[in-house]
Amino acid sequence: MRVLAIETATEACSAALYISGEIRLRYQVEPRRHSELILPMMDALLAEAEIALSALDALAFGCGPGSFTGVRIATGVVQGAAFGADLPVVPVSTLAALAQRRYREQGEKHLLPAYDARMDELYWGCYRIGDDGLAHPLNDDLLLRPDQVDLPTGEGWVGVGSGWASYGATLRNRLGACVAAFDGALLCSAWDVAVLGAAGFNAGKAVPAEQALPVYLRDKVAETPGSRT
């Protein structure tokens, strides 16, 4: 299987090429250069592997939630590439991909990914790593105030993402002994979008290009001040 994945929903811009379980990655933390970097990253990966875009099985992208501008960039790029090469697309939750990265790097299986959504709110997810080594949601990704998050069952949960950097004290106060640790600096990577995208393709979750839509969670998000790329 061959899947090209992109991720631009946070400060990191990245692309990854998945070929039969092997992954090649381009990754840069450049908060305001996503639109400039993402296409060259994709082209470089394909050239390095000597594969044409049309020879892929699918594309995958971090569909959100996250930065409005960043999610919009990923959606536009993946739709354009998919239309041009007649490829299906697998949308992947950026919160799921963040949980997947923490598991890949640290091995923890009970994860609470959160992004700072501004306006005293956060994008919140609750994920458990299954026997297949993939992040599975225990509920829908949500937009909440930090003092509204639900208590997960059991202990040993690990928080990841910018929501924990911004609201860590409130979240720890809310969740108490449920949380063993948190890392507010971890960013999403196309590596994990590729892994989840390949699994989604095998599970029949690919959609036509026109149905590869962003997930914002907040109404009128375009009017929100302080959007980041």
CATH architecture of 95-183: 2-Layer Sandwich (3.30)
What is the DSSP code string of 86-130? T--EEEEEHHHHHHHHHHHHH---EEEEEEEEETTEEEE--EEE-
Instruction: Give me the pLDDT at residue 151, please.
Output: 87
Q: Under CATH, domain 2-93+188-223 is a member of which superfamily?
A: ATPase, nucleotide binding domain (3.30.420.40)
145-191: per-residue pLDDT in tens? Answer: 999 999 899 999 999 999 999 999 999 999 999 999 999 999 999 99
pLDDT band at 106 (very low <50, low <70, confident <90, very high): very high
Please choose, from the candidates 33, 38, 82, the residue with its C-alpha nearest in 3D space to the C-alpha of residue 58: 82
Residue ranges per structural domain of the chain: 2-93+188-223, 95-183
Give the pLDDT mean for 131-141.
97
Same fold, 2-93+188-223 and 95-183: yes
Q: Which residues, 6+ apart, have CB-to-CB distance to 138 below 8 Å?
A: 126, 127, 128, 152
Give the pLDDT mean for 129-146.
97
Cβ atoms of 95 and 202 closer than 8 Å: no
Instruction: Give me the pLDDT at residue 224, please.
Output: 34
Instruction: Give me the pLDDT at residue 218, please.
Output: 80
41-66: per-residue pLDDT in tens? Answer: 999 999 999 999 999 999 999 999 99
Q: Which tokens go with 62?
A: 């971090």
Cβ atoms of 84 and 63 closer than 8 Å: no
Instruction: Give me the pLDDT at residue 99, please.
Output: 98
**Residue 36 belongs to what H/E stretch?**
helix 34-49
Instruction: Give me the pLDDT at residue 228, please.
Output: 36
Give the pLDDT mean for 106-133.
97
Give the pLDDT mean for 70-94.
98
Residue 229 confidence (pLDDT) above 50: no
Instruction: Give me the pLDDT at residue 219, please.
Output: 62
This model's pTM is above 0.85: yes
Measure the CA–CA gap between 2 and 39, rounded to whole angstroms.
Answer: 18
